[in-house]
Amino acid sequence: MKTIRWGIIGCGDVTEVKSGPGFQKADHSELVAVMRRRGDLAKDYAERHGVPRWYDNASDLIHDREVDAVYIATPPSSHKQYTLMSAAAWKPVYVEKPMALNFAQCLEMIAACAEHQVPLFVAYYRRALPRFLKIKELIEAGAIGHVRSVNIIFHQAMTAEDLSPDKPWRVDPDVAGGGRFVDLASHMLDFLDYALGPIGNAQGLAGNQAEKYKAEDIVTGTFRFVSGVQGTGIWCFSAFENRDVTEIVGTDGRISYSTFDAKPIILTTREGSTEFAFDYPQHIAQPLIQTVVDELNGAGECPSTGATAARTSWVMDQMLLGHEVSTTSR
């Protein structure tokens, strides 16, 4: 098979361990170039990670003849711009999540890649992790019978960054498309799309209770899958403790799991409870990256595409609809 040569636009924190080394360690994959607006930081990253070339201009990296595919790891505000540029250069695109600032931008990205006949992938890497594949396997095997409902509870205490005068970009709606709900709930909702099928109806209430930054810090959502399964979720980012639990309830049992912690998955039926423990890989995005490389080589299929990721953005848009702070960027 061909070795896919990658270029990264935006070699920030997420690329240090979670994703960047995955492009070097995946089979038939190689990282050959990186770009950051500050050339000194791009050079530093390249030297530390053994990458042969670095750039301070995205167009230069995209048009590098030795770059076969582009990974866009910038904040969401520039995902659409760099996706359109890469598609116009006939380069396959793998973009960080959330896919864009809103669903409308997702559609533009999908259309551009379709026009130029290049694939578009999105970094919802839980779709390829053994921990979450086990949950999907249990559901499909009928371990809890017919699925009836989903309940998500996600609480976080405010971080020191949230309380500081210099706010992180993840709570700036103009850069992130919303707040930490958009950053974190996207993973939770996307996996449910993978495990249970698309969500066909969603609505929510969003607010800014602590008033420490511009974005929403609490969201309550209700949703219904096309299959008829119903769900609720509450995401609070100014709570006193961290709590992360999702329950999928069926006619014969339930599955409880954490999306971000490595706590065991718990299957509970009338016969009792069974735990399934999984460690996260060091480079957590590497299994999904491998599926991208395999698909580009015609040897497999990536489960996370522009089409699937756009559905998650649509659900979040519906839950944030009418929130007075984030509507300007959504």
Q: What confidence tens digit (pLDDT) does each residue in 225-266 have?
A: 999 999 999 999 999 999 999 999 999 999 999 999 999 999
Average pLDDT over all residues of the chain: 96
Name the pLDDT band for 322 (thresholds 50, 70, 90): confident
Binning pLDDT at 50, 70 and 90, where does residue 126 land?
Answer: very high
pLDDT surpasses 90 at 309: yes
Selecting from 3.30.360.10, 3.40.50.300, 3.90.1170.50, 3.90.1300.10, what CATH number does the domain 128-283+312-328 have? 3.30.360.10
Segment 115-136 mean pLDDT: 98
Q: Any idea how long the chain is? A: 330
Q: In what order do the strands lie in the sheet with 265-269?
A: 199-207, 218-225, 230-236, 147-155, 243-250, 253-257, 265-269, 272-276
Per-residue model confidence (pLDDT) at position 328: 39
What pLDDT score does 329 carry? Answer: 39
Checking if the pLDDT of 111 tops 50, the result is yes
Superfamily name and number for 4-126+284-303 = NAD(P)-binding Rossmann-like Domain (3.40.50.720)
pLDDT value of residue 1: 87
Tens-digit pLDDT profile for residues 127-178: 999 999 999 999 999 999 999 999 999 999 998 988 999 999 999 999 999 9
Tell me the whole-structure pTM to 2 decimals. Answer: 0.95
Give the tens place of pLDDT for each residue, 1-46.
899 999 999 999 999 999 999 999 999 999 999 999 999 999 999 9
The predicted-structure confidence for 168-218, as pLDDT tens digits, reads as follows 999 999 999 999 999 999 999 999 999 999 999 999 999 999 999 999 999
Answer yes or no: are the C-beta atoms of 12 and 169 closer than 8 Å.
no
Contacts of 185 (CB under 8 A, 6+ apart): 152, 154, 219, 233, 235, 316
Q: Is the pLDDT of residue 324 over 70?
A: no
Where are the chain's structural domains? 4-126+284-303, 128-283+312-328
Q: What is the mean pLDDT of residues 267-293?
A: 97
